[in-house]
Chain A
Amino acid sequence: MLKIIRYSFFDLIRSSWSYVYLLFYLALGFVLLFLNNDISKSVITLMNIIIVLTPLIATVFGIMYYYDSREFIELLLAQPIKRTNIFLGQYLGITISLSMSLIIGLGIPFTFYGLLNSAAIWNFSMLLITGVFLNFIFVALAYNIALYNNNKIKGFSYVILLWLFMAVIYDGIFLISLFIFKDYPLDNFSLAATMFNPIDLSRILILLKLDISALMGYTGAIFKDFFGTMQGVIISLLTLGIWIIIPALNIYRKATKKDF
């Protein structure tokens, strides 16, 4: 499996898309720091961007890579390698290279601005960790969609819909239901609803770490009330972990059965 991870990783870091992605983060980091002129403030602005954009790029990248390498997968399938290793290896190859772009692209500008001597270093690390989690989750989801859809157009539409749902529509439905059922106790409902959306979960995770109650909103406040900061962070990290494990297990399951 290590061989496959290595090859897809090198294949990806040599594609121009990885550079575009890296340059984008570099530019974003520098511009934010230049405009805010303050690391802590930049971290907050960055959070809003990372939480929406990382999933989008991870899903689109994930599904593009799968469709692009489909024939190559066929070549690999004829080699003496275990089937599941091919898919899990590719999955890890993509996530690692995407996460590296994220970490290097944002790490360089922030280090230049004196991140290492600033109090915001833990907040910033939490931001990167969440970004990496989101990469793992959304590439896994994209791979699942790709494995079930041989039709590229269909796969792409589902992936975009998934992102749109998680990033925008979910919150809308959530808010509307909070409004409609406002006469009932909604604590447990909103706790559960947050768990079912990795993007919401990441937002709360970072806000808990940043400790900005004003930005938390209803769910964040409940989350903090219910779990407290430390426990809240651990619970949301664990839930994000489950969000990786379940789709990854399904990739494993589907990979043993799929025809090529």
Chain B
Amino acid sequence: MITIEKLHKKFGSLEVLKGIDLQIKSGGVFAILGPNGSGKTTLIKSMLGMVIPNSGDIWIQGENIKKQWRYRHQVSYLPQIAHFPKNLKVAELLKMIKNLKNKPCDETSLVATFNLAPFLNKNLGDLSGGTKQKVNAVLTFMVDNPIIIMDEPTSGLDPVSVLELKKIILAERAKGKTIIISSHILSFIEEISDEIVFLLDGNIYFKGSVSKLKENTNKSNFEEAIASILTTSYA
């Protein structure tokens, strides 16, 4: 359970989040949508404590996260782009993150799923962007955390890996985990999400299920529904 109250964030003079109130209930896939610059990543990073909000509070599993770090024992994060220290080997990075998470981890099956075995002894600096993103996915899913947060998880992945990622997400959902995902790939979202929130200029424009969004906008197709929001709000 995640509760966000009156969350404001400014970067310089740019107001990115303008008082977000949001409740994300436990269990299920929760998608955060919105055009570029609508505050998706800032919202996600606020939940992780990477961005410090100007005002407002966030509770994760009943704990106010302000200046806290132990709650991150419950949260896995898959960032948009993966950058690792160049001189570390993949196996060493896995070991290091396991060491930092300080929890039982199971990475062997994930390494097999993403065909990473040949890369385990390669330097991270030599890997391609997509392979790095796979390593990232392994880091995210190897720990059994009740909350998983993903920012554009499909970026750089090939179609086979996207398919694998989707399977993993669905499997995690079946275990009753809370999965928060932001993506521009609408077909991906429509397929897996239980609830969506649509951000527009730092405010919540819509919150509900995909079918309710279609109903509200009188469209039969998810993509057209999103497009109609954008055209009406910018017109």
Bound CA span A144–B5, Å = 33
The answer to whether B72 and A75 touch across the interface, beta carbons within 8 angstroms, is no
**Interface pairs (16), CB distance under 8 Å:** A7-B96, A11-B85, A14-B87, A70-B83, A75-B79, A75-B82, A76-B100, A77-B50, A78-B48, A78-B50, A78-B79, A79-B72, A83-B69, A259-B45, A259-B52, A260-B50
The answer to whether B87 and A11 touch across the interface, beta carbons within 8 angstroms, is yes
A83 proximity list for chain B (CB < 8 A): 49, 69
Cβ-based interface call for A257 (8 A): yes
Contacts A15-B86, A70-B83, A81-B69 aside, 7 further interface pairs with beta carbons under 8 A come to A3-B99, A11-B87, A14-B87, A77-B50, A78-B48, A78-B79, A259-B52
Interface size bracket, A side:
20 to 34
Bound CA span A256–B77, Å = 20
- Chain A 58-77 residues near chain B, CB threshold 8 A: 68-72, 74-77
The answer to whether A72 and B83 touch across the interface, beta carbons within 8 angstroms, is yes
The answer to whether B87 and A80 touch across the interface, beta carbons within 8 angstroms, is no
The answer to whether B48 and A72 touch across the interface, beta carbons within 8 angstroms, is no
Are A80 and B102 CB-contacts (below 8 A) given A74-B79, A259-B11? yes
The answer to whether A260 and B70 touch across the interface, beta carbons within 8 angstroms, is no
Report the nearest A residue to B124, measured CB to CB: A72
B11 proximity list for chain A (CB < 8 A): 259
B171 proximity list for chain A (CB < 8 A): none
Interface size bracket, B side:
20 to 34
Are A79 and B97 CB-contacts (below 8 A) given A11-B85, A256-B67, A259-B52? yes
B82 proximity list for chain A (CB < 8 A): 71, 75
A260 proximity list for chain B (CB < 8 A): 45, 50-51
Cβ-based interface call for B81 (8 A): yes
> Which B residues are closer than 8 A to A by beta carbons?
11, 45, 48-52, 67, 69-73, 75, 77, 79, 81-88, 96-97, 99-102, 139
The answer to whether A77 and B48 touch across the interface, beta carbons within 8 angstroms, is yes
Contact of A15 among B52, B84, B87 (CB under 8 A): B87
> Which A residues are closer than 8 A to B by beta carbons?
3, 7, 11, 14-15, 68-72, 74-83, 256-260
A69, A71, A78, A81 — most chain B CB neighbours (10 Å): A78
B139 proximity list for chain A (CB < 8 A): 75
Bound CA span A258–B51, Å = 7
Report the nearest B residue to A77, measured CB to CB: B50
The answer to whether B45 and A80 touch across the interface, beta carbons within 8 angstroms, is no
Contact of A79 among B67, B87, B101 (CB under 8 A): B101
Are A80 and B73 CB-contacts (below 8 A) given A11-B88, A14-B87? yes
Report the nearest A residue to B99, measured CB to CB: A3
Are A79 and B100 CB-contacts (below 8 A) given A71-B81, A71-B83? yes
B72 proximity list for chain A (CB < 8 A): 78-81
Bound CA span A68–B100, Å = 21
A75 proximity list for chain B (CB < 8 A): 79, 82-84, 139
A77 proximity list for chain B (CB < 8 A): 48-50
A15, A72, A79 — most chain B CB neighbours (10 Å): A79
Contact of B100 among A14, A71, A74, A81 (CB under 8 A): A81
The answer to whether A80 and B77 touch across the interface, beta carbons within 8 angstroms, is no
